[in-house]
Amino acid sequence: MSSTEGRFAGRTAIVTGAGRGIGESIARRFADDGAEVLIVGRSAEPLEESVAAVEAAGGRAWSLAADISSSDDVDRLVSAAMERWSQIDFLVNNAAVFDEPPFFENTADTFRQTFDINVLGTFLISQRVAREMSKRKKGAIVHISSIDALGADGPYSAYTATKAAVVSLARTMAVELAPHGIRVNCVAPGFVNTDMVHKITPKNIMDYMLNSFERVPMGRLVEPEEIAAAVAFLASDEASAMTGTNIVVDCGMTANLYALETLPEPIIALEGGS
């Protein structure tokens, strides 16, 4: 689709953490829908690759390397966006870190670093962008949360705490910013089929998760493009009455407590019959 067509034609979007994976897919989706996208991350090389991918598909994008936990960096990138565009229509907060040891080995420094990026960074750029959006009484902000905000799935105490904080932050922002014409929502991905997952997962386990993931009702991983579609919907005018929500995109994983399936013997029929 031409960048002059689509539901976001003539609009602008900032997507953080967009050098790869879910963030890159979100940037590409917004560009496919007609927006010009500012792709943000800490390392320049993957950002340039994302820009090239958007442009190869006929979209418009540019990039800036920045650390969103730094107020100075946030001011620099938002000022650059306003100088180029004069308005910011959408902000997608995807940037996050996910690297910590188990609870007893975790440290205060690791906890602080995780919260600095995942929560403080989300707050800083949201506040700065919202100030610009409020001048036009129009804008949409989407945070990428996680099903980890709803329940633990491993030894990631800092990460799960940050994602719960992001959901709570979105609710408060939604209430405070509604009078300024700004909507704020979250998308909570489940297990997503990204390059990073492939790199850290043995091939046999990857094949299982992609094709016969018994823990998940739909039996597979979520595709990054499916997360991007949910984000684009929440940002669009089609979701004009939605704010303060946390949409879960997980192939049904959190719909199932997975209790009966793990018993040594079935106590009720799980398939067919009465």
Domains of the chain in start order, with CATH, are: 12-262 (3.40.50.720)
CA–CA gap between residue 142 and residue 187 (Å, rounded): 7
Which of 168, 172, 87 has its CA nearest to residue 135?
A: 87
**pLDDT at residue 273 in the model:** 52
What is the structure's pLDDT at 197?
A: 84
Which residues are tagged catalytic? 159
What confidence score (pLDDT) does residue 221 get? 96
Report the alpha-carbon distance of residue 15 to residue 114 in Å, rounded.
Answer: 19
Identity of the amino acid at 146 = S
Structure token pair of residue 227: 């997360």
**218-236 average pLDDT score:** 97
Closest-CA residue to 131 (of 176, 69, 186): 176
Burial class (CB in 10 A: 0-12, 13-18, 19+), 45: exposed
Give pLDDT, residue 270: 59
State pLDDT tens for residues 75-128.
999 999 999 999 999 999 999 998 899 999 999 999 999 999 999 999 999 999
Retrieve residue 122's tokens. 């989300």
Among residues of the chain, what percentage have pLDDT more than 90? 87
Cα separations (Å) of 97 from 3, 32, 113, 118, 198?
31, 27, 8, 7, 17
Strand partners, 15: 39, 92
Closest among 112, 169, 102, 117 to 141, alpha carbons compared: 169
Mean pLDDT across 203-230: 95
- Residue 169 pLDDT grade (very low, low, confident, very high; cuts 50, 70, 90): very high
- pLDDT, one tens digit per residue, over 31-83 is 999 999 999 999 999 999 999 999 999 999 999 999 999 999 999 999 999 99
| 173-211 residue pLDDT tens | 999 999 999 999 999 999 999 987 888 789 999 999 999
On whether the CB atoms of residues 91 and 14 are closer than 8 A, the answer is yes
Instruction: Look at residue 69 in the predicted model and tell me its pLDDT.
Output: 98
